[in-house]
């Protein structure tokens, strides 16, 4: 509750709107989970995924994409030490920017409003990432935006190949809309890549991990995806494949479409 209140303005009506949104979105999200995401909610009610393409969902609620913003956060910069595979083939800053390029192209083609919080290849600093995000998201209601930071995990300092593998997703501590959104992205990953390992933290009743990373404390619901491990040989081979990059970006876009379709104006 403390985190929710920190992120809210002091006025009671907005607090109530957010609380209702969390309850309602959690309810819908739980239903989606119960149905194995066979259905998605649109303005025309629940629609089976078998009968409708996700991008058609957006066309059923055009006003929703115009007043919604997706803020993308590329990981690190080339000047940050480490953050690469032991053989140097995988560079987190570069890989993250490739995924964000793919996401940008897809959002462009779908007419989804998005922004990247910085276009620098050099680390601009966590504070500046948050400042830029808060500036970009000004004018958007808390529940009409999502911040997505795209990273790759590491078990060590990058000097040697290690065994840890798998996808995980982080939100700030406490229950906010970000936890609901993280659950949707997690489910979409499981569905798209059933053969790949995922990592979960069930301690607070959901699958995401919780940490107050600086960027997760921006003014909109924020998630940080630790895609897979950059110091695991198998994970690196997968992440470097062009096929994975494309499918991974599609997976994130599909999750975002579900999130926008759930969003209450």
Per the CB < 8 A criterion, the answer to whether 147 and 220 are in contact is yes
Residues 195-234, one symbol each (x = binds Zn ion by CB under 5 A, - = not), give: ----------------------------------------
Query: Applying CB under 5 A, does 148 fall inside the site for Zn ion?
Result: no
**Residue closer to Zn ion, measured from CB, 11 or 81:** 81
Shortest distance, CB of residue 149 to Zn ion, whole angstroms? 8
**Residue closer to Zn ion, measured from CB, 64 or 151:** 151
**Three-state SS letters, 22-54:** HHHHHHHHHHHHHCCCCEEEECCEEEECCCCCH
Which tokens in the block code for residue 222? 């924020």
Q: Exposure string (b/e) for 128-141, b if CB count within 10 Å is 16 or more?
A: ebbebbeebbeebb
**Stretch of 3-11, 54-62, 72-80, 105-113 contacting Zn ion, by CB under 5 A:** 72-80
Distance of alpha carbon 252 from its chain centroid, rounded? 7
Query: Applying CB under 5 A, does 75 fall inside the site for Zn ion?
Result: yes
**Residue closer to Zn ion, measured from CB, 206 or 231:** 231
Shortest distance, CB of residue 80 to Zn ion, whole angstroms? 9
Query: Applying CB under 5 A, does 129 fall inside the site for Zn ion?
Result: no
Shortest distance, CB of residue 117 to Zn ion, whole angstroms? 15
**Stretch of 24-32, 62-70, 100-108, 151-159 contacting Zn ion, by CB under 5 A:** 151-159
Among 129, 151, 165, 219, binds Zn ion (CB under 5 A): 151
**Residue closer to Zn ion, measured from CB, 106 or 151:** 151
Which residues bind to Zn ion, rule: CB under 5 A? 75, 151
């Amino acid at each position: 509750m403390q985190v929710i209140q920190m992120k809210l303005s002091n006025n009671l009506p907005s607090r109530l709107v957010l609380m209702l949104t969390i309850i309602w979105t959690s309810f819908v999200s739980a239903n989606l989970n119960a149905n194995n995401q066979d259905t998605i909610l649109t303005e025309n009610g629940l629609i089976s995924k078998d009968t409708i393409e996700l991008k058609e969902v957006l066309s059923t609620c055009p006003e929703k994409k115009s007043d919604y913003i997706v803020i993308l956060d590329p990981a690190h910069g080339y000047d940050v030490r480490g953050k690469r595979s032991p053989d140097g083939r995988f560079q987190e800053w570069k890989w993250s920017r490739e995924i964000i390029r793919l996401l940008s192209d897809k959002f462009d083609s779908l007419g989804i409003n998005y922004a990247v919080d910085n276009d620098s290849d050099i680390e601009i600093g966590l504070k500046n990432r948050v400042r830029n995000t808060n500036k970009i998201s000004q004018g958007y209601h808390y529940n009409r935006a999502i911040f997505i930071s795209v990273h790759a995990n590491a078990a060590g300092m990058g000097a040697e190949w290690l065994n840890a593998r798998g996808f995980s997703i982080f939100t700030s501590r406490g229950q906010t809309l970000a936890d609901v959104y993280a659950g949707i992205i997690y489910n979409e990953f499981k569905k798209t890549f059933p053969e790949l390992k995922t990592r979960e933290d069930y301690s607070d009743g959901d699958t995401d991990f919780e940490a107050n990373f600086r960027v997760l404390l921006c003014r909109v619901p924020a998630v940080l995806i630790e895609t897979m491990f950059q110091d695991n040989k198998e994970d690196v081979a997968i992440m470097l494949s062009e096929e994975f990059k494309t499918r991974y970006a599609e997976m994130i876009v599909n999750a975002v479409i579900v999130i926008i379709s759930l969003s209450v104006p």
